[in-house]
Amino acid sequence: MSATNRRIVLVSRPLGEPTVENFRLETVAVPTVGPGQVLIRNHYLSLDPYMRGRMSDAKSYADPQPLGEVMIGGTAGEIVASEHPGFAVGDQVAGYGGWQEYSLISGPGLVMLQKVDTRQVPLSAYLGPVGMPGITAWFGLSKIIEPKPGETVVVSAAAGAVGGVVGQLAKSRGCRAVGIAGGKDKCDYVVRELGFDACVDYKAAADAAALDAMLAAVTPKGIDGYFENVGGMTTDVVLGRMNAFGRIAVCGMIAGYNGEPVPIKNPTVILRSRLKMQGFIVFENPTMVPWAMSELAAQVASGRLKYRETIAQGIENAPTAFLGLLKGKNVGKQLVKLV
């Protein structure tokens, strides 16, 4: 085991778009394990859009990321030292160890730490389709959109870690799944590999009218359910295609993560079409997590649920990979490989 631990801390809050200067790479000693604690060698670090919101000190659903401390983030790895009776050296675990190579977990952190079975599901998948992104997709689709066979479900950021799972789960429930993604390559991936019925390339649309025409062509019966990840023009266009009593699960609005306003231009459609529009934070519903993970793990193990990973190598490259994620440079789940 190494005597040093490399980690990334947040040193300043971004004004608008984040930069690598908001972060600092530090080298410190690997912490000593005390009573009730475990030490994990992190193999993978998860990078997710929600982290941009945590970098701000604006009022939100969670406390902001403290300056001068290790950036929050999901991790998966192996326990290398333990003074806790519930965990043994060699256990493979997933939790929230942050942007660092070694994590010392104790107290409340142990509540979020779970042993994982890697015999049929790869360790990295517990940060993607069988982790927070997959559980988010499962909850928003199953509990808010509540799809019925024959309905049309649309998901934005369809080539991402959450969106890709939403569409596949919608298909498994007998729905028509339509994605919205940026670029021909991403749309080809969504349709050919993930099995969506169609995908609209929003980058090929010159304006809202063009995007509306493209979406109308692949949703001839309108839209019954929408999984929202981006906001902005995409939201306005989708709202105009929603059927009466449509359901919208608001997971994220990446178009506004740098502080830009993301108003809805025609909110009267919510009343006119009697829409249900609900935001959600997945881990506020912990009783659903085992149900979600059971289905997701079974589908990954059988090969029915497909996914792709974009992997950066080394903790030092986490900030650059994170900035690329916010610009949509990844396909599927963005990870940093630490081992």
User: Which structural domains are found in the chain, ordered by start?
Assistant: 4-128+308-337 (3.90.180.10), 132-283 (3.40.50.720)
Please report where in the chains the tokens 């063009």 appear, as a residue.
210
Confidence (pLDDT) at 62: 79
d(CA 71, CA 21): 14
Structure token digits, residue 332 = 């599927």
Per-residue pLDDT tens listing for the chain (339 residues):
678 999 999 999 998 899 999 999 999 999 999 999 999 999 999 999 999 989 988 877 778 999 999 999 999 999 999 999 999 999 999 999 999 999 999 988 898 899 999 999 999 999 999 999 999 999 999 999 999 999 999 999 999 999 999 999 999 999 999 999 999 999 999 999 999 999 999 999 999 999 999 999 999 999 999 999 999 999 999 999 999 999 999 998 876 566 677 788 889 999 999 999 999 988 888 888 899 999 999 999 999 999 999 999 999 999 999 999 999 999 999 999 999
Return the sign of the alpha-carbon dihedral for residues 91, 92, 94, 98.
positive
Beta bridge partners of 250: 228, 279
Confidence (pLDDT) at 256: 59
pTM beyond cutoff 0.75: yes
d(CA 34, CA 305): 40
Per-residue HEC secondary structure of 233-279 comes to: HHHHHHHHHEEEEEEEEECCCHHHCCCCCCCCCCCHHHHHCCCEEEE
Where do the H-state alpha helices sit in the chain? 50-54, 132-139, 163-172, 184-188, 208-218, 233-241, 268-272, 289-302, 318-326
Confidence (pLDDT) at 183: 96
How many Cα atoms within 13 Å fall on the side-chain side of residue 190? 32
Task: State pLDDT tens for residues 212-250.
Answer: 999 999 999 999 999 999 999 999 999 999 999 999 999
- Rounded alpha-carbon distances, angstroms, from residue 215 to 59, 140, 160, 241, 292: 35, 22, 19, 8, 30
Is residue 325 a contact partner of residue 334, using CB atoms and an 8 Å limit? yes
Is residue 120 a contact partner of residue 301, using CB atoms and an 8 Å limit? yes
Helix axes 289-302, 163-172, angle to 10 degrees: 80
